[in-house]
Structure 1
């Protein structure tokens, strides 16, 4: 399977009163990982939006293993866990500087027309992107 990696420096504003990364910020890092994966596969989420489509999150889950702190650098690993031409499930691991898993999670997405918010079959509107996703998910099967 194709795994994308991106580094994220933990900023002070992302921490809470206890000095650790506030839990909701990991969802922002998931988004960074997802858009990096899309870019690494040769596509642009921004261009998809310009073309009149969105890919909203319809479900998300996160499991916290270890705290991350200001000044550390996180590694966000992202891959396609499930894809059927309609739904996509991205999986994530966030590693601390020692390479230990700090957070794992998944986000589930569909693709909709921006103007109507009606779901579409992704593979019908983005056939090249569809083929890249099929290839990326099958590499690990």
Structure 2
């Protein structure tokens, strides 16, 4: 299974009054890690969007296990949990410097031609991306 790792330093602005990372920031970390995953797989969200295709999140799941505080660093592991021509589910594990898991989660994405609100198939619009994802998922 193809898994990427991305180290993210916790910024002071990401914490709440208690010095703990505010919960919504984990979703931002997921996005940063997913973009890194896609780039390491050889593709680019920017190129997809230039072609008039967007990839909205249709579901996000997040489970918190341990608090993260400033100035810790975390590593976000990312992989494909599920893939079909119409939908991709990315999985994430946020690991603290001491090796404990801070959070786990998934985001589910579809592809749409910008402005249509209708799903499109990855294999028809980006066949190389589809082939690579088939190989990474198997």
The two structures share one fold, judged by TM-score above 0.5: yes
Match of 1:79 in 2: 79
- TM-score for the superposition, normalised by structure 2: 0.98
1:54 and 2:24 matched: no
1:24 and 2:33 matched: no
Separation (CA, whole Å) in 2 of partners of 1:87 and 1:123: 11
Alignment of 1:87-106 (within 5 A): 87-106=87-106
Match of 2:14 in 1: 14
Separation (CA, whole Å) in 2 of partners of 1:112 and 1:133: 18
Match of 1:125 in 2: 125
Q: Return structure 1 stretches of 4+ with deviation > 4 angstroms.
A: none
Q: CA RMSD in A?
A: 0.7
Match of 2:70 in 1: 70
Separation (CA, whole Å) in 1 of partners of 2:92 and 2:127: 25
1:2 and 2:2 matched: yes
Please give the secondary structure, in 1, of the residue aligned with 2:35.
helix
Match of 1:134 in 2: 134
- Unpaired runs of 5+ in structure 2? none
Separation (CA, whole Å) in 2 of partners of 1:36 and 1:98: 23
- Unpaired runs of 5+ in structure 1? none
